Chains A and B, each alone.
Chain A
């Protein structure tokens, strides 16, 4: 059954670069951003057009990027530099300013490199490592205030509390809609695939956010009319896999393709280019303070350290998502030199083992040289899960 709204979203994404050019001709300004903790609510409320930058999976861009940074930087950051170096990506060309937060410091280095070599107008937001300590939270509030002041100057307008309230509502609705979409892709006879939902999340990096929300709501209405409320009930013997780990940005389809080819079914993710940014954002007041508090109290990105295993909310979140999506195995994707995620692979595996959930780490880059090796692993993992299903059914 074809979902009509899906086609509309795809069409809208295709038209978006042209739209941006036109909007800029009329005086609108585009604020591109990358890393993990830039609150789009503020960008939007200031009348700027937010665009989340960055793609993956293109080894030529990685090569270009490596001329400026090093092969000891992860391929995502190398490609990011490559994108700016080549300067053909429509979103990069159309960004009037590039905002970068200092969550992953390797990605922060990219901001320094593109400022120096390509004269990109960057704006930096500091992020504390002690996100749960009062002094860390205070630091982030101050940083976000200062960031906003600079953005106000750039936008030529001051942050207006009505506009901010509207913006917060818009983003809350987007996040709510995406969470609902994730439920649909996880039900037994999936009316929409995880991969399609993942692409829709990425469409939200680019589309006008109001239009995006209306498309999301239209899609949810279509799904409800055709399939009713999403209930994740019976499982049908699929090898249900949740993807976790390093960022999988738009364009990086290597692992996803392989999992599909070997017959695995992805039923969810806790990726920062997937569901994670939609989780756990509780803005208590329509102010910079409210937004700072909400962002810093989210389940943190892996670059921010948890010293205590017992209170690690990342693992708690992962376990919850496994339960919610009835996943039977976790494919833990790590990019080479993405230490934030790679270093956690062993421990995450041990933690999930206790829960009876197998984890397979795939440590890779964008080059195609290891596709067959990954295929073998992914296939064996699917065999393992299926075999486990059979044994459990027999028991």
Chain B
């Protein structure tokens, strides 16, 4: 038996942290429920390992492992948000909360404000996978591939696996989604085309698109997008049966601004620290949590608050994150639908310090005064990641300097035509302006269990070159 078979090692949180963990604050959710830290502990140590064994697999070939830095308690809570996503979304849907499939990396304030739950392609695919429980890593991998193949069959093998598998899962009715309402921005070449090509499918899901024009700096573009956001709020209202007011919007904006600020501060603090207080997984997760991708903006903000506090403490006491090398090679990444595997980087003496796509989101606060629709539109249009490439590259240059990156990996996923088209341009500009080495990667691995040796080989060589 090799380690991919039944006897693979399973991760477990050590009992000795239990007492301290359950003393920490629990989490509040938007629907009014409160979960104590003791309940979170029980879920993560007793319930989840039985229901979602694949998530705890320590196989070398598991691409999305839980963080092993167990003393970083907010990380355990973030893991809780991930592993309860399935249950929370089903419960919300059954109680009449619209579940809305949205674009990755975009502002989600309007969706939450209107009383819906936005869910981006990656977590949605995970949700679909977890609709079947008890899966081993291998079984989970096969299930994910099966859904993806359905999408490829329905649309095209040229499609990026992220949007195509997500939309396929919705159309197969594996997950109950009430509305598909993504931004049609330059990040993704496929989501708009994919939605269109499913229009004659059997399962009818309402669709509302939000155009995201390339002329971001114009007043008329703001007005155009604001009108679309108005329409979105109305559409969600129709599904839910009650429409959000301007006050609801403002309240949500305030909450999410707080979350974004916390994520930003935490990451910047970590960048400036002489010893890295967060490992790669925690850094990436803090950034993505700042885009509220786990279905609850309130609980996410509370986790971010705790993470912020923990990082401050660690920096104050020069505590280094568990598993990170003393002077790691700091890797920054550029591109969407493409991730670097944290534990692999750390194993090779590197650390992931962030990605421009996700960071873009936490640097886009919404003005809290004035017309909330126009403010939201302005914030969306200010996303660094969606700017003309030369402008985006200049921002990446700033991030590379600020995060003190030693190397930049520009990547894109198979089938992505919009990011692949300018991946080299970003790499060239960043290299020229900062002198930091860059490489370009095309990946085709977004599942949990795919053969990543070729990608890893390139990354490992890159780290060797930098160290």
A326 interface residue per 8 A CB criterion: no
Q: Of A72, A138, A305, A350, which contacts B417 at CB under 8 A?
A: A72
CA A241 – CA B171 in complex, angstroms? 34
Q: A135-B223, A339-B156 are in contact. Are A124 and B214 (CB under 8 A)?
A: yes
18 cross-chain CB contacts under 8 A: A68-B425, A69-B421, A70-B442, A72-B416, A105-B418, A106-B421, A113-B421, A116-B389, A116-B429, A126-B214, A129-B211, A136-B224, A139-B220, A305-B192, A305-B195, A337-B417, A339-B158, A343-B156
B424 interface residue per 8 A CB criterion: yes
Segment among A252-260, A276-284, A306-314 that sits at the interface with chain B: A306-314
Q: By the criterion CB–CB under 8 Å, are B196 and A306 in contact?
A: yes
B4 interface residue per 8 A CB criterion: no
Q: By the criterion CB–CB under 8 Å, are A106 and B189 in contact?
A: yes
CB contact list, A296-351 vs B, under 8 A: 305-309, 336-337, 339-340, 342-347, 350
Residues of B close to A345: CB separation below 8 A: 156
* Chain B residue, CB-CB nearest to A306: B196
Query: Chain A CB within 10 Å — which of B195, B415, B421 has the most?
Result: B421
**0/1 string, A69-93, CB within 8 A of B gives 1:** 1111110010000000000000000
* Chain A residue, CB-CB nearest to B153: A346
Residues of A close to B442: CB separation below 8 A: 70, 72
Q: By the criterion CB–CB under 8 Å, are A69 and B213 in contact?
A: no
B145 interface residue per 8 A CB criterion: no
A61 interface residue per 8 A CB criterion: no
CA A260 – CA B194 in complex, angstroms? 34
CB contact list, B195-234 vs A, under 8 A: 195-197, 199-200, 207, 209, 211, 213-215, 218, 220-221, 223-224, 227-228
**0/1 string, B162-206, CB within 8 A of A gives 1:** 000000000000000000000010100110111111011000000
Given contacts A72-B412, A112-B422, A146-B215, 14 further A-B contacts (CB under 8 A): A69-B420, A69-B421, A69-B424, A70-B442, A105-B189, A112-B425, A129-B211, A142-B218, A307-B195, A307-B207, A308-B199, A343-B159, A344-B197, A347-B199
A100 to chain B, nearest CB (A): 10
Q: A128-B224, A343-B194 are in contact. Are A112 and B158 (CB under 8 A)?
A: no
CA A109 – CA B425 in complex, angstroms? 11
A-B Cβ contacts below 8 A, count: 149
* Chain A residue, CB-CB nearest to B201: A347
Residues of B close to A102: CB separation below 8 A: 213-214
Binding site for B on A (CB under 8 A): 68-74, 77, 102, 105-106, 108-110, 112-113, 115-117, 124, 126-130, 135-136, 138-139, 142-143, 146, 305-309, 336-337, 339-340, 342-347, 350
Q: By the criterion CB–CB under 8 Å, are B200 and A305 in contact?
A: no
Residues of B close to A138: CB separation below 8 A: 220, 223-224
Q: By the criterion CB–CB under 8 Å, are B421 and A73 in contact?
A: yes
Residues of B close to A128: CB separation below 8 A: 211, 213, 224
B325 interface residue per 8 A CB criterion: no
Q: Of B192, B200, B415, which contacts A72 at CB under 8 A?
A: B415
Residues of B close to A306: CB separation below 8 A: 196, 199
Q: By the criterion CB–CB under 8 Å, are B422 and A109 in contact?
A: yes
Residues of A close to B218: CB separation below 8 A: 126, 142-143, 146
By size class, the interface of chain B is 35 or more
CA A73 – CA B186 in complex, angstroms? 14
Q: A72-B416, A305-B192, A340-B193 are in contact. Are A77 and B421 (CB under 8 A)?
A: yes
Residues of B close to A112: CB separation below 8 A: 388-390, 421-422, 425
Q: Of A77, A108, A308, which contacts B214 at CB under 8 A?
A: A108
B179 to chain A, nearest CB (A): 13
Q: By the criterion CB–CB under 8 Å, are A70 and B412 in contact?
A: yes
Q: By the criterion CB–CB under 8 Å, are A347 and B200 in contact?
A: yes
Residues of A close to B422: CB separation below 8 A: 69, 109, 112-113
A305 to chain B, nearest CB (A): 5
B423 interface residue per 8 A CB criterion: yes
CB contact list, B256-278 vs A, under 8 A: none
Residues of B close to A113: CB separation below 8 A: 389, 421-422, 425
Q: Of A105, A126, A340, A347, which contacts B221 at CB under 8 A?
A: A126
B334 to chain A, nearest CB (A): 14
Q: By the criterion CB–CB under 8 Å, are A307 and B196 in contact?
A: yes
B148 to chain A, nearest CB (A): 16
B239 interface residue per 8 A CB criterion: no
* Chain B residue, CB-CB nearest to A350: B200
Residues of B close to A115: CB separation below 8 A: 390
B414 interface residue per 8 A CB criterion: yes
Q: A337-B158, A342-B156, A343-B197 are in contact. Are A72 and B420 (CB under 8 A)?
A: yes
Q: By the criterion CB–CB under 8 Å, are A70 and B423 in contact?
A: yes
Q: Of B196, B213, B223, B414, which contacts A305 at CB under 8 A?
A: B196
CA A29 – CA B92 in complex, angstroms? 61
Q: Of A106, A124, A305, which contacts B418 at CB under 8 A?
A: A106
Q: By the criterion CB–CB under 8 Å, are A129 and B194 in contact?
A: no
B46 interface residue per 8 A CB criterion: no
A77 to chain B, nearest CB (A): 7
Residues of A close to B223: CB separation below 8 A: 135, 138-139
CB contact list, B328-370 vs A, under 8 A: none
CA A377 – CA B15 in complex, angstroms? 65
Q: By the criterion CB–CB under 8 Å, are B224 and A70 in contact?
A: no
CA A73 – CA B442 in complex, angstroms? 13
A308 to chain B, nearest CB (A): 7
B154 interface residue per 8 A CB criterion: yes
Residues of B close to A126: CB separation below 8 A: 213-215, 218, 221
Sorted nearest first, the 5 A-B pairs with minimum C-beta distance are A70-B420, A109-B421, A142-B220, A135-B227, A129-B211
